[in-house]
C-alpha cells in the first residue's frame, strides 16, 4: 500500500554539493506524538511535521481506529489529531510490518478500551526489535497478553502503576511505558529509561497534555497517572538524523551544506566526531555548516544518548571511505545495521571489512554473539557507480552519498525506504546540485 519497490533513482555525480537545507521535525518523534494525541479528550495540533511516508502510514493506522487525522499546510507540515471517545481496539492486519507504531498502541488502547490487538511490528531490517521489553512492562502493569503468530492480543481491567526496570535503555520500550503510565492508576517508575531527545520531546508533549511526570538524573521517569488528558499544540524539534546526514553530504562531496532547523544541542556528539575528522564548523542560532580540506580517519562507537547515535552511523561509514587512512566503527545498538549499510557500499567499491568482535571500544552486549557489528574502513576508496538495491532508510541516504562521489552513474532501487524517513529527499538533493532522475518500474 505504501511501499513502491520499483521506485528507483538515477544518480549522476555532479561535483560538490552546496546550499541550504532546513530540516523539519523529527521522523522519530512525529509518529509517537500522533499516538499520544489520541489519548486526549480534545484535538491536538503538531506543527513542523516532516513530509515522510511514516506519517501517512501512522495516519492510516489511527484512522482505522476511528481517530480523525488531518494533514495540512503547503508541505504537509501540520498534523491535527481528533481523538475519539470510542476508538476501535483492533489494528487491522493490513498494517503488519509497515512500521513500529502498532506496538506503541497497545498501552493507549488498553487504557481507552480495556483490550487491544496489534499486528507484528515492522521498520528497517537493521537487527532484532524484540517486543519482550514492551510486553513485559505491560504485564507488570496488569495486562494479560498473548503473543500470537500474527500479532499481540491484550486485555486488562485497568492498568496499574508499578516499578519497571528496563534491561536496556530501549527507546521504544520507554515510549510504551510513558504512553501507558500517563493514564494508569497510581505511580509508575521507569528505571534504566532511554533519554534520547525524541523521548524527552514525547514526555514534554504528554506533560503539555496534562500528564504528571518527571525525569530524574539517573535515567528514571516517575509518572503519576491521571484520569484525563487534554489536547495540546506543539512544534516539533528539528530532525538530528537528517541534519547530520546533510552536513555529511557537504563534507563528502567537498562542498558546504548549511543546515537550519536543528539546534546545536541535538548534535553535540556528531559535531565533535566530525571535528575530530578534520571538519571545521560555523555555528549560529540559525544554522550549522561544516567544511573540510581533507578528512582524517576516526574510531567511533555508537551508543544510547548522549553517545553517538546509531542512525548517524550509515552516513558516517560513507564519510570513512573518503578519509585518508583506516577508520573503525563499533555498532552497539542494532546488530545488523552494519551488514546492510556495508553491503551497499561494498557493491560500489568501498573497502570495508566486517567483524563479529568488538572493535573501537569496550566489549558491548553483542560481544559473545554472532552479530557482525564492527567495521574497518580503508580510505580513500575509489567508489564506482553501479546498480544496487537499498534495504533501509539510512542505507538509502548512504547510497545517495556514495553515488554522489562515485565514478560514473548509479541506479539505486528501493528508494521508497529513503522517502519513508527523510523530508523531500529528492527535491533537497536536487537543490544542492546533485543530478537525479526518478525511474518508476
DSSP-assigned states of every residue in 417-429: HHHHHSSSHHHHH
Q: Among the residues of 259-392, which ranges form H helices?
A: 268-276, 313-321, 337-347
Neighbouring-strand partners of residue 289? 258, 282
Residue 23: name the closest of 244, 203, 234 by CA. 244
Q: Where are the domains of the chain?
A: 7-23+238-440, 27-235
Distance CA 187, CA 120 (A): 29
Is the per-residue pLDDT at 5 higher than 70? no
Is the per-residue pLDDT at 100 higher than 70? yes
Categorize the per-residue pLDDT at 122 as very low, low, confident or very high, splitting at 50, 70 and 90: low
Is the per-residue pLDDT at 4 higher than 60? no
User: What pLDDT score was predicted for residue 421?
Assistant: 82
User: What pLDDT score was predicted for residue 41?
Assistant: 98
Query: In terms of pLDDT, which residue wins out, 96 or 159?
Result: 159
Is the per-residue pLDDT at 128 higher than 70? no
Residue 33: name the closest of 55, 60, 63, 2 by CA. 55
Q: What is the mean pLDDT of residues 348-367?
A: 91
CA count, 13 A, side-chain hemisphere, 100: 20
pLDDT digits (tens, 9 = 90+) for 419-429: 888 999 999 99
Q: What is the mean pLDDT of residues 118-146?
A: 78
Query: In terms of pLDDT, which residue wins out, 438 or 337?
Result: 438
Q: Among 3, 4, 20, 124, which one carries the catalytic annotation?
A: 124
User: From the CB of residue 280, how many other CB atoms can be counted at a distance below 10 Å?
Assistant: 11
Distance CA 166, CA 440 (A): 44
Is the per-residue pLDDT at 131 higher than 50? yes
- CATH code for the domain defined by 27-235: 3.65.10.10
Categorize the per-residue pLDDT at 129 as very low, low, confident or very high, splitting at 50, 70 and 90: very low
Evaluate whether 7-23+238-440 and 27-235 have a shared fold: yes
Is the per-residue pLDDT at 1 higher than 60? no
- Percent with pLDDT over 70 in the chain: 95
* Residues 295/288, Cβ–Cβ less than 8 Å: no
* Residues 441/6, Cβ–Cβ less than 8 Å: yes
| Average confidence score pLDDT of the chain | 93
User: What pLDDT score was predicted for residue 420?
Assistant: 82
Categorize the per-residue pLDDT at 340 as very low, low, confident or very high, splitting at 50, 70 and 90: low
Distance CA 81, CA 377 (A): 46
Is the per-residue pLDDT at 327 higher than 90? yes
User: What pLDDT score was predicted for residue 75?
Assistant: 82
Query: In terms of pLDDT, which residue wins out, 427 or 2?
Result: 427
Quick one: DSSP state of residue 408? S
Question: How big, in percent rounded to 5, are the helix, strand and coil portions of the chain?
Answer: 35, 25, 40
Quick one: DSSP state of residue 323? S
Is the per-residue pLDDT at 391 higher than 90? no
User: What pLDDT score was predicted for residue 138?
Assistant: 97
pLDDT digits (tens, 9 = 90+) for 233-268: 999 999 999 999 999 999 999 999 999 999 999 999
Categorize the per-residue pLDDT at 361 as very low, low, confident or very high, splitting at 50, 70 and 90: confident
pLDDT digits (tens, 9 = 90+) for 287-324: 999 999 999 999 999 999 999 999 999 999 999 999 99
Q: Among the residues of 322-373, which ranges form H helices?
A: 337-347
Lowest pLDDT segment from 116-125, 180-189, 382-391, 404-413: 116-125
User: How is 119-180 classified by DSSP, letter by letter?
Assistant: EPP----SS---SHHHHHHHHHTT-EEEE-SSEEEEE-S--B--EEE-SS--HHHHHHHHHH
Q: Which three cell numbers stand for residue 31?
A: 509518529
Distance CA 182, CA 212 (A): 7
Is the per-residue pLDDT at 3 higher than 70? no
Distance CA 402, CA 400 (A): 5
Distance CA 242, CA 397 (A): 9
Query: In terms of pLDDT, which residue wins out, 363 or 98?
Result: 363
Q: What is the dihedral of CA 20, 26, 30, 33, to 10 degrees?
A: -130
Q: 199 burial class (0-12, 13-18, 19+ CB within 10 angstroms)? A: buried
Q: Which three cell numbers stand for residue 160?
A: 496499574
Quick one: DSSP state of residue 310? G
Q: What is the mean pLDDT of residues 144-170?
A: 95
Classify domain 7-23+238-440 at the CATH class level: alpha beta
* Residues 335/124, Cβ–Cβ less than 8 Å: no
pLDDT digits (tens, 9 = 90+) for 21-55: 999 999 999 999 999 999 999 999 999 999 998 99
* Residues 80/45, Cβ–Cβ less than 8 Å: yes
Known catalytic residue: 124? yes
Q: Among the residues of 182-264, which ranges form H helices?
A: 197-208, 240-253
* Residues 315/244, Cβ–Cβ less than 8 Å: yes
Amino acid at each position: 500500500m505504501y511501499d513502491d519497490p520499483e521506485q528507483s533513482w538515477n544518480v549522476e555525480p555532479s561535483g560538490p554539493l552546496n546550499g541550504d537545507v532546513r530540516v523539519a521535525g523529527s521522523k522519530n518523534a512525529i509518529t509517537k506524538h500522533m499516538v499520544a494525541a489520541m489519548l486526549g479528550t480534545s484535538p491536538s495540533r503538531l506543527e513542523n511535521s516532516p513530509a515522510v511516508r511514516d506519517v501517512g502510514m501512522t495516519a492510516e493506522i489511527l484512522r482505522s481506529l476511528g481517530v480523525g487525522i488531518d494533514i495540512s499546510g503547503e508541505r504537509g507540515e501540520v498534523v491535527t489529531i481528533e481523538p475519539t471517545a470510542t476508538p476501535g481496539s483492533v489494528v487491522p492486519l493490513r498494517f503488519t510490518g509497515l512500521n513500529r507504531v502498532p506496538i506503541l498502541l497497545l498501552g493507549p488502547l488498553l487504557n481507552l478500551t480495556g483490550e487491544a490487538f496489534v499486528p507484528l511490528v515492522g521498520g528497517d531490517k537493521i537487527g532484532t526489535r524484540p517486543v519482550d521489553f514492551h510486553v513485559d512492562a505491560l504485564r507488570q502493569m496488569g495486562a494479560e497478553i498473548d503473543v500470537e503468530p500474527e500479532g499481540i492480543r491484550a486485555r486488562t481491567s485497568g492498568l496499574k502503576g508499578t516499578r519497571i526496570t528496563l534491561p536496556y535503555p530501549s527507546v521504544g520500550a520507554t515510549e510504551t511505558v510513558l504512553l501507558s503510565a500517563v493514564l494508569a492508576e497510581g505511580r509508575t517508575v521507569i528505571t534504566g529509561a532511554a533519554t534520547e531527545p525524541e523521548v524527552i520531546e514525547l514526555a514534554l508533549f504528554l506533560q503539555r497534555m496534562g500528564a504528571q511526570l518527571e525525569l530524574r538524573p539517573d535515567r528514571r521517569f516517575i509518572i503519576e497517572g491521571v484520569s484525563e488528558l487534554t489536547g495540546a499544540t506543539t512544534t516539533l524539534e528539528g530532525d538530528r538524523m537528517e541534519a547530520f546526514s546533510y552536513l555529511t553530504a557537504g563534507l563528502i562531496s567537498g562542498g558546504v551544506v548549511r543546515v537550519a532547523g536543528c539546534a546545536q544541542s541535538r548534535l553535540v556528539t556528531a559535531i565533535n566526531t566530525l571535528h575530530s575528522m578534520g571538519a571545521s564548523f560555523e555555528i549560529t542560532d540559525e544554522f550549522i555548516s561544516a567544511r573540510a580540506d581533507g578528512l582524517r580517519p576516526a574510531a567511533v562507537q555508537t551508543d544510547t544518548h548522549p553517545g553517538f547515535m546509531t542512525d548517524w552511523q550509515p552516513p558516517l561509514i560513507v564519510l570513512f571511505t573518503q578519509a585518508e587512512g583506516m577508520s573503525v566503527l563499533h555498532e552497539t545498538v542494532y546488530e545488523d545495521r552494519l551488514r546492510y549499510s556495508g553491503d551497499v557500499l561494498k557493491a560500489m567499491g568501498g573497502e570495508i571489512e566486517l567483524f563479529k568482535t568488538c572493535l573501537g571500544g569496550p566489549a558491548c552486549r553483542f560481544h559473545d554473539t554472532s552479530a557482525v557489528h564492527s567495521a574497518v574502513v580503508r580510505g580513500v576508496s575509489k567508489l564506482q557507480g553501479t546498480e544496487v538495491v537499498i534495504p533501509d532508510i539510512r542505507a538509502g541516504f548512504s547510497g545517495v552519498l556514495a553515488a554522489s562521489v562515485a565514478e560514473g552513474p548509479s541506479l539505486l532501487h528501493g528508494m521508497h525506504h529513503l522517502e519513508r524517513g527523510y523530508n523531500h529527499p529528492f527535491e533537497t538533493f536536487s537543490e544542492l546540485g546533485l543530478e537525479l532522475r526518478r525511474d518508476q518500474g
